[in-house]
Amino acid sequence: MCLGLPSKVLSIDGNTGTVEMMGVSNTVSIELLENVKVGDYVLVHAGCAIQVLDQEEALKTIEIFEDIRKMGI
């Protein structure tokens, strides 16, 4: 099973970006996407941003992941 996590873009340096997902910052490749901006939410899979997400939907998904984490699943 593959899992992509919604992440907020904190900074961009060339073809990489620093993103925050559930309190953890990571550097990911953004070269698969065009017009990514700081503040955007992106779907990250295997170290690559693969899709720009609607902010509202990204926040809903993050909330679901947080609920699951709190349940200890």
Domain 5-71 part of CATH 2.30.30.140: yes
Is 56 exposed, middle or buried (CB count within 10 Å of its CB: 0-12, 13-18, 19+)? Answer: exposed
Element (H, E) at 61: helix 55-71
The more confident residue out of 4 and 17 is 17
Q: Considering the chain, what is the average pLDDT of its residues?
A: 93
User: pLDDT tens digits for 13-36?
Assistant: 999 999 999 899 999 999 999 999
State residue 2's pLDDT score.
74
For 30, the 3-state DSSP assignment is coil
% of the chain with per-residue pLDDT over 70: 99
The model's pTM: 0.89
Q: What is the largest CA-CA distance in the chain?
A: 38
Rg value, the chain, Cα: 12
- Sorted by where each begins, the domain ranges of the chain are 5-71
